[in-house]
Each structure stands twice: as C-alpha cells, then as structure tokens.
Amino acid sequence: MIGYTSLGTNNLKQSAAFYDALLADLNARRIMEFDDFIVWGTGTDSPSFSIHIPFDGRPASIGNGVMVALSANSRAQVDAVYRKAISLGAADEGKPGQRAENGFYAAYFRDPDGNKLNLHHMG
C-alpha cells in the first residue's frame, strides 16, 4: 500500500536532527541519505518516512489538510513520543487522548517546518 511519505523542509540539518531523535523512539533509523533528502525506516519491507529540500528550488511549505500519521505500539508510546516531539520544538496540535470509540488513541503536533503529524495507536 504505502511505500513512503515525504515532507518538505527548508533546513535539512535542523529537520534531520529533529527526526533522528523522534523516530529513534519508534525504532526507525536512517536508511538512505543524500544531499537533499533523508529517509528513515524500520526495515526494507516496511513503509518509510523522508524529508526533502524541494526539487523545484522553491521554499518548502506546509499543505493545508496534509498530515503524516505515525503508528505507535502502545498508548504509552504515543504519550512518550508526543512529549519528546514537544521537547524537540514541535508545536502542539492536540494532546494525546482517545479520539474515537473504536480504540483510536492519538496525539497531533507540527514539526519545526510546520508539517502536521499524528502519532496513534489502535486498541
């Protein structure tokens, strides 16, 4: 289904430091790196996440309605990674909590470039 997601950045070094620290808590590591983009993943058969300097040379911008959802293995991991994101400079977009009766537990934040992310656990 999903192979990878990409978000734009205007500061690859700053964004890389943010995601290195954040994604390590989700057992992801850098699996590919070039001058204009970096990819993190948990394995070659799993979806991956990347940040890019825009190919067209124009500034990266956030998309209205665009969000990347990251899967956690427990509610406790949602809470911990959300706290870590905030400590790394992310902006709060919704503290961890139950969002639906079907067990959807989630938190929302924006990375240093303003991209919106969700961290969630089902169950």
Contact in structure between 121 and 77 (CB atoms under 8 Å): yes
- pLDDT computed for residue 84 by the predictor: 98
Does the residue 60 lie in any domain?
no
Does the residue 99 lie in any domain?
yes
Does the residue 96 lie in any domain?
yes
Does the residue 114 lie in any domain?
yes
The number of folded domains in the chain is 1
Q: At what angle do helices 12-24 and 75-87 cross, to 10 degrees?
A: 150
Does the residue 59 lie in any domain?
no
Average pLDDT, integer, range 44-71 = 94
Look over the chain and give the mean of its residue pLDDT values, rounded to a whole number: 95
Contact in structure between 25 and 70 (CB atoms under 8 Å): no
For residue 95, what are the domain limits?
Answer: 4-54+67-122
Contact in structure between 13 and 23 (CB atoms under 8 Å): no
Average pLDDT, integer, range 76-96 = 98
Question: What does pTM read for this prediction?
Answer: 0.91
Does the residue 118 lie in any domain?
yes
For residue 86, the domain's CATH number is: 3.10.180.10
* pLDDT tops 80 at residue 83: yes
| 9: nearest Cα among 42, 55, 71 | 55
